Structure 1
Amino acid sequence: MKKLILLSLVFLTVFSCGDEVEFNSPAFQGDRENALWRASSFTASIETNGFLTITGSNNYETVNLKVPSVTENTFVVGDVDAIEAQYLDGFGTTYSTNNRPDETVSIYPELGEIIISEIDVVNKTFTGTYRFLAFDEEGLNSIGFTNGIFYKVPLVYGEIPTSPITCADVEIAADDALLAYEATFATSLEFVSSEAYSLACSNYVEALNNQRNYCGDLDGSIQTKIDELGDCTMPCEYASANVMEANSQYVTATIGNYNDKCAQYGFYLQQEIDVCGDEDGSIQAKIDALDCSDDDGDGVPNVFEDFNGNDDFEDDDTDGDGVPNYLDNDDDGDGVLTQYEAVDADGNPIDTDGDGDVDYLDDDDDGDTILTINENADPNGDGNPSDAVDTDGNGVPDYLQA
């Protein structure tokens, strides 16, 4: 323990202390636990994702300095995984700033830094400084470096990008992703799409992770945002709001749009179960009570064919032909199928003669005392009045003109 305390004290000394070193040729060195450590070979490499690693080795030990961007900048190690300093000793043990100390040692690992002070794009070399405290995998042992310097370390693998990703770039991307995410649950929306929400949320989480990697997260605020987003499942409050809006549209539905509004209401009720749960079964009961069917396919939903309102479809038979309306595709028996008489272009019931009986339930649509079936409303007998007789040629068929 005394050794660890001493290491921390050494690590916290001002980075610029000690003798200044001037180099005339490439070099890589630092004070390892107050003793000079010097590399005999050193290289830099750039991965296809743009991450830079500067390596120094003396054949027995190796120091790796990894940063996510090929830019002249200060990168704080011990904060995010994308920025890392490693020390590999001669016995195969790896010490990393990404390893956290055991709580018996310290719960607050010291943060170090890698400073890229100069990138020579012509000669492809890197110059800068470093300091760090790295722990082994168990977090019980540490190695500290101070006064680290690398000078004109040559690039041996990869290419220096012309437009490297910077912290500013990923901050802008995160802001854009936030706007896209917030747009999925804007108050102006009729419904919140769970698919759009989850996708935009996932994209925002990815953008925040990139921001952490390239900018660091010293106060933990970025990680807090990521944690609050969770698995990007749409919140229950949005699912419940969807149900409220769907119910509002369902209860005001007309014959023409009832089936769609009923199915929509059922969809959002099921979504509410998936997102919020249904411990008492009340939501499922609402789903079970829905009847979105049109059993005779006449364009009039079953619930609109219970004319006496007793919830029994079987005792409603307008034309008295023995077939209840919900199973009869010509409810008034006038020879014109209900689907052609039920609603107008706006989905509203049609009552041509204004007698209070809509056409699909009125066997004398124009109220001229001549039954529709006797006014040649469907000469070819297919139930479609498109061929209805129009004696005076005024564009209004006889069966609709008094």
Structure 2
Amino acid sequence: MMKKLILLSLVFLTIFSCGDEVKFNTPAFQGDRENQLWRASGFTASIGANGFLTITGTKNAESVKLTVPSVIESTFIVGDIDIIEAQYIDALGTTYSTNNKPDESVSIYPELGEVTIEEIDVVNNTFTGTFRFLAFDAAGLNSVGFTNGIFFKVPLVSGEFPTNPITCFDVETEAEIALLAYEATFASDLDFVNSDAYLAACNAYSNALINQRTYCGDANGALQSIIDDLGDCQISCEIAEANVVEANSQYATATIGNYIDKCAQYLLYLQEQIDICGDVDGSIQAEIEGLNCSDTDGDSIPDVFEDFNGNGDLEDDDIDSDGVPNYLDDDDDGDGVLTQYESKDENGNPMDTDGDGDVDYLDNDDDGDGILTIDENADPNGDGNSDDALDTDGDGVPDYLQPN
């Protein structure tokens, strides 16, 4: 604290270029404007509803306004981030702002300045600190610079001190959390990188980095470099291709019970690959058009599994010889029990009750007792659902599935 007081005393006793000796016994706001002393006749501080602090000095029709995003003792960089701004309005009403970038004919580099809040007196509601900046007009061709700027015990005239003002530590912590969430979307143990989850987490991370840059500064540009590398937060072509490889692997090993889902999944990632990587030779689109993810008759057996002779023609497969090909027949074996209600395991794959090699939905005598299923009262109400099947001995196993 003593070191800070000594430093402030030395600053406040500095001799400015105009030759005036500066002695601050009362509130003040001044600085060198283009090497000439500019001293405000009026000065105020205000805190907005968003927690931003604005310190303003006025001299006749001229004014200088300094805006920073948090009511804390810290140094804020101006000229790089729009919400941190130093502004000068001259006597003719022309506005010069650090948010106006210089025309390329003037400079190709951002002109950075600083606003430092050195002391916040919460008892007397005043602010003390320093500033320097170079601001441009809207065209970016003309500029006004302030150096050696000092504001001393400028009073707060509107707004209230926030209970928990945002600090650099706060936003650094938020950025670290956002990074972990972002990295989790493409962790090595995931089968797929979900593009929507990746997009959301990446944008959240990018916004957290922007906040970190705002409240902590980014002198070496490292944070901005990470933000730039994130780009539009779309997954890369390499990730899209890896998704397709995994989806194809799962599709190729799909069973009757999960085929529809695996086929749709493969289709999804193929289309995503086109959207992200393109399809110069049309091979990906051809693969899409060659997929058949359908279950036309809605019997829980995908069409591709109803081509029993394997010739690629679904029209010439008719297990029960009723004249309706299997892919259009919701009772493939003609036993009176709809295919979708025939026995399945927990994964939705057809089961073989009598162990004769024919799964129940293709077997018209499911229990192999020599009595056709249709003759064992498997569906008394005739709706195709065997939930009401006759169970003569009441043991919980319907007659059509019980050989004895």
Tell me if both proteins adopt one fold, taking TM over 0.5 as the criterion.
yes
Does residue 150 (structure 1) correspond to residue 151 (structure 2)? The answer is yes
Displacement of 1:293 after TM fit?
A: 1.7
Q: Which amino acid aligns with 1:33?
A: E
Does residue 224 (structure 1) correspond to residue 225 (structure 2)? The answer is yes
Displacement of 1:91 after TM fit?
A: 2.2
| Equivalences, count | 389
For 2:294 and 2:88, how far apart are their aligned partners in 1? Answer: 71
For 1:306 and 1:162, how far apart are their aligned partners in 2? Answer: 71
Displacement of 1:48 after TM fit?
A: 1.5
SS in 1 for 2:240: helix
Unaligned runs of 5+ in 2: 1-10
Displacement of 1:119 after TM fit?
A: 1.0
Would the alpha carbon gap of residues 322 and 200 (structure 1) be closer, same or farther in structure 2, given more than 3 Å must change?
same
Q: Which amino acid aligns with 2:269?
A: Y
Would the alpha carbon gap of residues 313 and 108 (structure 1) be closer, same or farther in structure 2, given more than 3 Å must change?
closer
Displacement of 1:55 after TM fit?
A: 1.1
Would the alpha carbon gap of residues 395 and 96 (structure 1) be closer, same or farther in structure 2, given more than 3 Å must change?
closer
SS in 2 for 1:87: strand
Quick check: 2:15–2:22 contact (8 Å CA) kept in 1?
A: no
Would the alpha carbon gap of residues 44 and 367 (structure 1) be closer, same or farther in structure 2, given more than 3 Å must change?
same
Question: What are the equivalent positions in structure 2 for 1:262-341 lying under 5 Å apart?
Answer: 262-341=263-342
SS in 1 for 2:162: coil
Q: Which amino acid aligns with 1:333?
A: G
Question: What are the equivalent positions in structure 2 for 1:148-297 lying under 5 Å apart?
Answer: 148-297=149-298
SS in 1 for 2:214: helix
Unaligned runs of 5+ in 1: 1-13
Does residue 18 (structure 1) correspond to residue 15 (structure 2)? The answer is yes
Quick check: 1:39–1:57 contact (8 Å CA) kept in 2?
A: yes
Displacement of 1:301 after TM fit?
A: 1.4
SS in 2 for 1:114: strand
- Residue 6 of structure 1 corresponds to none
Quick check: 2:12–2:23 contact (8 Å CA) kept in 1?
A: no
- Residue 366 of structure 1 corresponds to 367
Would the alpha carbon gap of residues 91 and 379 (structure 1) be closer, same or farther in structure 2, given more than 3 Å must change?
closer
For 2:203 and 2:78, how far apart are their aligned partners in 1? Answer: 26
Q: Which moved more, 1:100-109 or 1:20-29?
A: 100-109
Quick check: 1:249–1:261 contact (8 Å CA) kept in 2?
A: yes
Quick check: 2:14–2:22 contact (8 Å CA) kept in 1?
A: no
Quick check: 2:119–2:128 contact (8 Å CA) kept in 1?
A: yes
Q: Which amino acid aligns with 2:29?
A: F
CA deviation string 1:75-127 (max 9, x = no partner): 23233223222222222222333334444444445533222111111221111
Cα RMSD after superposing both structures: 2.4
For 1:344 and 1:107, how far apart are their aligned partners in 2? Answer: 69
For 1:297 and 1:174, how far apart are their aligned partners in 2? Answer: 49
For 2:391 and 2:346, how far apart are their aligned partners in 1? Answer: 22
Question: What are the equivalent positions in structure 2 for 1:369-388 lying under 5 Å apart?
Answer: 369-388=370-389
Displacement of 1:174 after TM fit?
A: 1.6
Would the alpha carbon gap of residues 113 and 138 (structure 1) be closer, same or farther in structure 2, given more than 3 Å must change?
same
Q: Which moved more, 1:307-316 or 1:253-262?
A: 253-262
Quick check: 2:377–2:390 contact (8 Å CA) kept in 1?
A: yes
For 1:271 and 1:226, how far apart are their aligned partners in 2? Answer: 24
Quick check: 2:13–2:23 contact (8 Å CA) kept in 1?
A: no
Quick check: 1:30–1:145 contact (8 Å CA) kept in 2?
A: yes
Displacement of 1:39 after TM fit?
A: 0.9
Q: Which amino acid aligns with 1:262?
A: C
For 2:375 and 2:107, how far apart are their aligned partners in 1? Answer: 98
Would the alpha carbon gap of residues 365 and 33 (structure 1) be closer, same or farther in structure 2, given more than 3 Å must change?
closer
Displacement of 1:308 after TM fit?
A: 0.4
Does residue 114 (structure 1) correspond to residue 111 (structure 2)? The answer is no
Quick check: 2:80–2:110 contact (8 Å CA) kept in 1?
A: no
For 1:99 and 1:380, how far apart are their aligned partners in 2? Answer: 80
Quick check: 1:81–1:213 contact (8 Å CA) kept in 2?
A: no
For 2:310 and 2:42, how far apart are their aligned partners in 1? Answer: 91
Quick check: 1:15–1:146 contact (8 Å CA) kept in 2?
A: no
Q: Which moved more, 1:370-379 or 1:40-49?
A: 370-379
Quick check: 1:15–1:131 contact (8 Å CA) kept in 2?
A: no
Q: Which amino acid aligns with 2:349?
A: N
For 2:140 and 2:394, how far apart are their aligned partners in 1? Answer: 96
Displacement of 1:17 after TM fit?
A: 5.8
SS in 2 for 1:232: coil
- Residue 5 of structure 2 corresponds to none
Quick check: 2:236–2:276 contact (8 Å CA) kept in 1?
A: yes
Q: Which moved more, 1:129-138 or 1:292-301?
A: 129-138
For 1:135 and 1:329, how far apart are their aligned partners in 2? Answer: 76
Quick check: 1:80–1:217 contact (8 Å CA) kept in 2?
A: no
Q: Which moved more, 1:334-343 or 1:115-124?
A: 334-343
For 1:314 and 1:306, how far apart are their aligned partners in 2? Answer: 8
Would the alpha carbon gap of residues 360 and 39 (structure 1) be closer, same or farther in structure 2, given more than 3 Å must change?
same
CA deviation string 1:210-259 (max 9, x = no partner): 22222222222222222222222232233223222222222222222222
Higher relative contact order (CA 8 A, sep 6+): 1
For 1:92 and 1:108, how far apart are their aligned partners in 2? Answer: 27
Quick check: 1:79–1:216 contact (8 Å CA) kept in 2?
A: no
